[in-house]
Structure 1
Amino acid sequence: MGAVDYITKPFETDEVLSRVRTHLLIRNANVKLELSNKKLNIAQKELKTINAALEDRVLQRTSELKAANMALTLSEERYREFVEDTEDLVTQVDSDGTILYVNHASNRIFGRSSESCKGQSAFSFIHENDYEYTQNWFQKCLHNKVISSSFENRMVNMQTGEIFDMAWTCRFHYNSDGELTYVNSIARDITNKIREEKLRAAQLRLTEKPHNHSPEELLQLFLDETEKLTKSEISFYHFLNDDQETIKLVSWSTNTLNGLCEKTVMDSHYPISQAGVWVDCVRHRKTIIHNDYESLPNKRGVPDGHPPVSRELVVPVFRNNKIVAIMGVGNKPIDYTQDDIDIVKQMADLAWETVVRIQTQNALQKSENRFRSYVEYAPDGIFVMNEWGLIIDVNPAACEMSRFSPDDIIGKYFMRRIVSEDRQIATQHLGSLTKYGKASDEVRFMINDGSHRNWIIRSVQLADKTILIFATDVTDNRLYESQLGQYEKMETVGQLASGMAHDFNNQLTGILGFAQLLKHELLEDDPTLASYADNIINGLLHSSDLSRQLLSFSRRDDIVTVPVDWHGIITDVVHLLKHSIDKTIEIETRLEANISTVSGEPGLFQNILLNLGLNARDAMPNGGKLIITTQVVEMDDHLFKAPANMMIPGPYLSIQVIDTGIGMDKQTLSHIFEPFFTTKQSEKGTGMGLSVVFSTVRQYKGFITVDSVPNQGATFHVYFPIIGADIIQNYSKSMNQEAVSGQGHILFVDDEKIICQIVPKMLNHLGYQVSVCNNGFEAVDFYHKNWQNIDLVILDVMMPKMGGKDAFTAMRDINPDIVALISSGLSREGDVEKMIQEGAKAYIAKPYNEGQISRIIHDVLSGVGRRKQ
């Protein structure tokens, strides 16, 4: 029933306890055993589960390994296929560079199969110029235990000699001892890339050089670059004529000319019909390659001096379906390929475009320079205006005329510089320009210094509405026209004055002679009467000054000219003016000329300055300032525009008479030097003062101008040519000579009775024998009969029946060695000058006194031959 033991009575306590302990131990052991069995059952169940899972895992792993092995096999097959199929070069080399493996790309790059490459050194395929560089790179990688590295070099095809640019990527593998076991490498062919880069660089260099080279030089540069790109040894670039039948030989490369050609044939023409296969590109109108030139039939000729050809590539250059040029390269060490064709075509086209562009630019630049030079050197001012009338450009002449710099005048309105009185003309000018596209008018333009200049402006409007204004300064022309009219007026008055002076001088000569004889007769007997004779002589001399002024006015006088110091003239006249004009007028002198001596007559020069001074006085009724200045100026036709034949280039004494008076307007200025013109009241002036000044100035090869503006005073500019020191010295010597007597037979010819009465007496008094004739006919007849006894003929110029010139000619025919002294009341110009040129020995102007004629006769008969006293 579940009892585990029994015990009989009486039982011992110890036995009971022992039994209880035993059964408790058994029970505990059974409990533990049951627990262990339960755990064992559980463990067995778990083990079964684990075993089942392990079996599943083993089966799965086995399947995975099988799949991995299959994938690895597939990957290896794919990698092998990739390595074999890639165009890149794949190699494996050992530490010595010996090829362990190389893919099929070795056929193209090395010219060897992959099998034949195994065991060979990879360095044997390197270009000789890159061999050392590659070896150094490899050793450096080994030394530094490099894992990976990249570099570029060139490899050579051992079969064709073709060179490949390669870009390498290498991975180095080492063993546990750090020793290199092998190197895996992939090399990409970058030959085309390098070639394109070189082509682009060459094209860039060449297109940047046109401005520094001629077309021929540019073509040579293109050829030199093309040779480098194609590895050729010779090249040419020639043009085709429009007839497509003749080639113009233009350019060869530097190597072709310097290294190979024996004869330069540039810039000559070569008929295509005589040319060989090198012009087949023209015949067939396409690119031609001859890689085996020697085997070609019908090679025919090449231009004289052309080098031998082994290979050639020639491309045509087309424009508008016509061949305009051909470019050829030759003698490449290996065959030409499509890559070479592409390079040569690109270079040929670019060369043509560049040359055409530079020729066009040169032609345009030449045309621009030519037209710019026309504008720059044009004597007329050229103003360029936009459609709104603003000046946008000017030429140098425009700046010179307007006295503006380009910066000052550009951006200004041209028409606003035209004086207000001529604005209506300007408006009409613009109207004509708008209507007809061109216009021409004369206006007054205000230049930078505020003065006005007369300009003829001729305007044209261009298609872009730009306006060109061609301006001609005619201010001086208008002045000259005015002066010419003034000269013509004065010539008329001068003819009257000269006639009066001629007769007057004849009378003065006679009266002066009688007065001198009278003085000689009375000098001892009656000194008082002799002094009266002196007074008569002095009065006659003053009268001769009046006559001289008349002749000066008419410019028909040939008065005695002597060196005159203008500073002395100014000092004397200023002293006189200070005592004769109002004290409210201040007189100032600024004598700055270092040379102030000119040729002239002191009295007339004093009269010039006195007239100008009095004229200034009259212009300052309320007082003011009179300034007289001198300076030396060097002038020529370019610096001072004087009327034709009015000025002798050289140093001039400039005398300025400046007043601060009322000034003059342009109307007054245009008449200021006309005879009888005056702005004064009739009782204050006759209008002869400035006209006489003008004539006297011209008489002595000078000229006079005047500047004046109303209410701003006036400035008279007087110019005289300065004389040399030698003239002054010679004059000083002549002035020290005294009157002398003489002897000889003189034929005196004059139509004036009073002169014929007195002069022979004067000559007799001097010791000469005198015969007198009253006209040319009588003189010639007398000379014909007595010429051997006549030492000197004194011959008047203006006589009735036969004048002095004709008489002199007739007498010279009688005796070619005639000694004649010409006398006239007019100047030595005209007949007198001709007679001097034809052999007359000297000339003396009327009136003359005993001393003057005695000296000149003495000089003539002594052989000095002075031509003017």
Structure 2
Amino acid sequence: MDGRGIGPANLKIGKKGGTRHFSRERTSASWISPGRLTQSQCRRTSPSVSTLEETTRRLLKVICEHLVWDVGELWLVDKVAKVLRCVEVWHPPSPEFTEFMTLSKQMTFARGLGLPGRVWETGRPLWLRDATQETIFQRRPMVPRAGLRGAIGFPVRHRGEVVGMMEFFSGRIREPDTELLRMFAILTDEVGLFLNRLQLEEQLRQAQKMEAIGQLAGGMAHDFNNILTVIQGYTQTLLVKEDQDKETVEGLKQTYLAAERAGSLTRQLLAFSRKQVIRLEPLNLNDVIGNLAPMLGRLIGEDVTLRSSFAPRLPLVQADAGQMEQVLMNLIVNARDAMPKGGELFITTERVTVSEAEGRQEREGRAGEFVGVSVRDTGCGIAPENVQHIFEPFFTTKDAGKGTGLGLATAYGIVKQHQGWIKVASQIGEGTTFQIFLPTTAAPAKALKTTPSERKLRGGTETILLVEDELALRRLIVNLLQRFGYTVLEATSGAKALDVWRQQGRNIDLLLTDMVMPDGVTGQELAEKLKAENPRLKVILSSGYSADFTGTDLASLKGIFFLQKPYHPQQLVQTIRECLDGGAKA
């Protein structure tokens, strides 16, 4: 090869045998080398291009126009399902082409099957002189209707591994062209590098978008938690009063339930934004799933068959059991909703080793030892254009009133906060698979609690220093604790709390403080200062925002309890009594 490429092509449209026929003729105006072809496309790809799809479609168009083909398709390897999927196509406007491309996007090819699968298996270009006569070409019934004949497929490589393939079609029979085959052989690595760059840019844009949404969601939820705590507290206080008419009681109950639902939404927003406080402990995920088993039958219904496969001697992970249960429940509910007419639901666990090479290929993953959990359904599947949005908060394809759009966003945030990642593979009409990967730990396991302990509310006569800048919440807490016999000293900031401490420190038994205060002194800093003067002081830190605890290991805070907002009045009273009595941390 003399280094010349194929020149620009002129598109001719005519009729042949009643079928629209497309062909291109080379011009001698300008020639372009394989390297310059993709380099030129890289330069033409503006940072303002918002999606990977738009850019790959442009790349297909450039190759078609310069190398004289009528239709181009890009197939990428789906590592979860172990198949090739058509992710993008380009063709001139034509109903016949649209029908063929729709079929391509609905199909998948395993290694060795069809033109895409054969190229994937061999790692070499494959030329079909006339696709309508080739048994290897599984879409040949559709080819004549699209007016297509000749075809070629070539692999796309990155770091020596076949990560996909491109195939191109012509409206005429194409005899094998040695020069073009050598051209495509060179393009194999060029296109692989280019696509890898595009994927990295897309991942960066997606990560930045998710981070921005998370910051907004977390900040909103943080402020909203204080409001909800006040609403729930006063509502519950009124509900226990006697001599109220039935209508008033019912209204209070509905108000309380609405606040409960709002609290659930804020917890999901905090989980998505990775700002929810979590308590990590060594867990066996087989046990976590086993604890859910009794309720799964009722949850998924009689029309869905549950099948499970648990890996023996599964390594432990550092995780919050409650959070892991929430992730699994969200994925299971999502799978159930995808099978309104019934189907099969598969839950599996396995030990996964990710090599350095595999880690580089993962969108959000890395090398190391992991525990993998898969939730697979045989439902309707997710449309390709929706897959990239499913983890965004409030995105849903369900009918109005049938979902908040926070279930998958919550699962995504929790898994990320546990230093793991989540993958999805879906095929319309066949189903969806979600895979979770969490890093393993060598720490010994702890027994899971299967039922909450029964506790009777008890008050006391101790003195409590309350530090809270929200007036409504402070008044609620003071009234509540005084009803249970406690003496309450109030402060609205860290500095004012220190003033109260200097005057009455010897009488104070417990510090109850918010983590964030207007003067910049954190609740933890205040607690450490006061405990340095009185090591016997009991402390409860309160917040609904894990960013307040950045860099803090809650389990290591000796004698310090944590109370997450929004909390119920009973929860506050129980936690205070346990803390004063020296019980287990709440």
TM-score (norm 2): 0.56
1:556 matched to which residue of 2? 275
Which of 515, 519, 536 is the aligned partner of 2:235?
515
CA contact (8 A) 1:646 1:701 kept: no
Distance 1:671 1:832, change over 3 A: same
Which of 315, 319, 322 is the aligned partner of 1:600?
322
2:348 matched to which residue of 1? 630
CA distance in 2, matches of 1:474, 1:851: 59
CA distance in 2, matches of 1:681, 1:543: 20
- 1:752 paired to 2:494: no
Structure label with greater radius of gyration: 1
Note the C-alpha offset of 1:611.
2.9
- 1:492 paired to 2:212: yes
Note the C-alpha offset of 1:749.
0.7
CA distance in 2, matches of 1:720, 1:527: 53
RMSD: 5.1
CA distance in 1, matches of 2:471, 2:517: 12
CA contact (8 A) 1:775 1:801 kept: yes
**Deviations for 1:524-579, whole angstroms, at most 9, x for unmatched residues?**
x5595667655544443333212211211222112678988435647746644548
CA distance in 2, matches of 1:571, 1:676: 30
- 1:591 paired to 2:338: no
In the TM superposition, 1:821-840 aligns within 5 A as 821-827=540-546, 830-831=549-550, 833=552
In the TM superposition, 1:810-821 aligns within 5 A as 811-812=529-530, 815=533, 817=535, 818-821=537-540
- 1:777 paired to 2:487: no
SS at match of 2:374: strand
Structure 1 counterpart of 2:436, one-letter code: V
SS at match of 1:728: coil
- 1:610 paired to 2:333: yes
Which of 566, 569, 579 is the aligned partner of 1:850?
569
CA contact (8 A) 2:395 2:406 kept: yes
1:715 matched to which residue of 2? 433
CA distance in 2, matches of 1:626, 1:482: 34
1:444 matched to which residue of 2? 156
Structure 1 counterpart of 2:214, one-letter code: G
CA contact (8 A) 1:509 1:847 kept: yes
Note the C-alpha offset of 1:748.
0.6
Distance 1:682 1:635, change over 3 A: same
Note the C-alpha offset of 1:496.
1.8
Greater Cα offset, 770-779 or 596-605 = 596-605
CA distance in 2, matches of 1:684, 1:530: 29
CA contact (8 A) 1:828 1:843 kept: no
Structure 2 counterpart of 1:414, one-letter code: R
CA distance in 1, matches of 2:307, 2:158: 31
1:328 matched to which residue of 2? none
**Deviations for 1:749-784, whole angstroms, at most 9, x for unmatched residues?**
111112101112222233321111122221122123
- 1:652 paired to 2:371: yes
Higher relative contact order (CA 8 A, sep 6+): 2
- 1:414 paired to 2:124: yes
CA distance in 2, matches of 1:656, 1:683: 25
Distance 1:516 1:488, change over 3 A: same
Distance 1:539 1:632, change over 3 A: same
CA distance in 2, matches of 1:549, 1:416: 50
In the TM superposition, 1:180-579 aligns within 5 A as 414-416=124-126, 444-445=156-157, 452=164, 482-522=202-242, 525=243, 533=252, 536-558=255-277, 565-566=288-289, 569=292, 572=295, 575-578=298-301
Which of 391, 412, 415 is the aligned partner of 1:694?
412
Structure 2: runs of 5 or more not aligned: 1-83, 85-109, 113-117, 128-153, 167-184
CA distance in 1, matches of 2:254, 2:400: 33
CA contact (8 A) 1:482 1:670 kept: no
Aligned length: 415
CA distance in 2, matches of 1:676, 1:517: 33
CA distance in 2, matches of 1:587, 1:863: 47
Structure 1 counterpart of 2:522, one-letter code: G
CA contact (8 A) 2:371 2:438 kept: yes
Note the C-alpha offset of 1:707.
2.1
CA distance in 2, matches of 1:474, 1:781: 63
Structure 2 counterpart of 1:654, one-letter code: V
Distance 1:721 1:446, change over 3 A: closer
Distance 1:537 1:633, change over 3 A: same
CA contact (8 A) 1:707 1:715 kept: yes
CA distance in 1, matches of 2:420, 2:347: 17
Distance 1:726 1:774, change over 3 A: same
Note the C-alpha offset of 1:477.
9.0
Note the C-alpha offset of 1:493.
1.4
Structure 1: runs of 5 or more not aligned: 1-401, 418-441, 455-465, 580-585
Note the C-alpha offset of 1:692.
3.5
SS at match of 1:714: strand
